[in-house]
Amino acid sequence: MPTLRINVPVRYVIRPRARRVSLRIDAAKREVIVVLPRARDRKRAEDLVRDKASWLEEHLSHWPLPMPFIPGGVILFRGKEFVLAHEIGRGAAHEADNRLIVPCPEAASFSGRTRRALITLARENLTTQAQLHADALGVEFSALSVRDTASRWGSCSAAGRLNFSWRLICTPPEVLDYVCAHEVAHLIEHNHGPRFWALVDGRVGDSKPHKRWMRDNSARLFAVGAEA
């Protein structure tokens, strides 16, 4: 089996509907995924990884370092670098001097507590901003959920349900606000036409810088919580 000089998992996935062997880099799971139509295509798939090794290593070498949830570790939070701090006890996570202080009884539970704290903060911020935009546009959403999405930072269902990635709490507040405005605008315009963007820009101003930030920093967002 071919190996990469960079320590990144290579996962082979059989998909009968695939027309050919292909590979891609999954930033969310920090792995290389190779799709093959049949099990007997495994050798061709391994040959493809070998042939593309230099290309893969070049792209993977630019990945941001993982930001695990460990005491003293640094993560991206509200668009800035924050140091994680463990406080023995219980209660809500809180910010102080570019530190995110996470109370928990013991260090062994720190990682899980930190993830849950970020999800809670994300839900609070996303709900507040989404409601502000909904009120301003005169619409209502049926529900709001926060998940660890792998492909879209936000979505709006036909039933009016808003879905967001918890990782948006790691973005600058104005970027989180833009994503909220984007999804709320879909309650009115279920497309990305001129009227849709007029609604979004009417709420946040020029949306282009926020879209650019998300594009340029997506790999950093997925690095938050990744194991070293």
Residue 65's Cα: distance from chain center in Å? 15
pLDDT of residue 147: 95
Specify if 228 maps to a domain.
Answer: no
Number of residues written out for the chain: 228
pLDDT of residue 71: 96
Specify if 16 maps to a domain.
Answer: yes
Same-domain pairing of 126 and 175: yes
* Total number of domains in the chain: 2
Alpha helices in 52-187 (DSSP H): 53-60, 110-137, 173-185
pLDDT of residue 64: 87
Same-domain pairing of 38 and 80: no
Residue from 129, 228, 145 nearest 185 by CA: 129
Same-domain pairing of 109 and 214: yes
- Cβ contacts of 123-130, under 8 Å, gap ≥ 24: 123/166, 125/168, 125/169, 125/173, 125/176, 126/164, 126/168, 126/176, 126/180, 129/176, 129/177, 129/180, 129/181, 130/162, 130/180, 130/183, 130/184
Q: Domain holding 128: CATH number?
A: 3.30.2010.10
Tens-digit pLDDT profile for the chain (228 aa)? 455 565 678 889 999 988 899 988 877 677 888 999 999 989 998 889 888 888 888 877 778 889 999 999 999 999 999 999 999 999 999 999 999 999 999 888 999 999 999 999 999 999 999 999 999 999 999 999 999 988 799 999 999 999 999 999 999 999 999 999 999 999 999 999 999 999 999 999 999 999 999 999 998 999 999 887
Same-domain pairing of 216 and 158: yes
What gap in Å lies between CA 99 and CA 187, rounded to an integer?
A: 37
**Cα distances (Å, whole numbers) of residue 69 to 9, 116, 119:** 21, 11, 13
pLDDT of residue 30: 78
Same-domain pairing of 116 and 204: yes
Same-domain pairing of 148 and 218: yes
Show the domain range for 187: 74-223
Report the SS3 class of residue 215: helix
Specify if 20 maps to a domain.
Answer: yes
Specify if 69 maps to a domain.
Answer: no
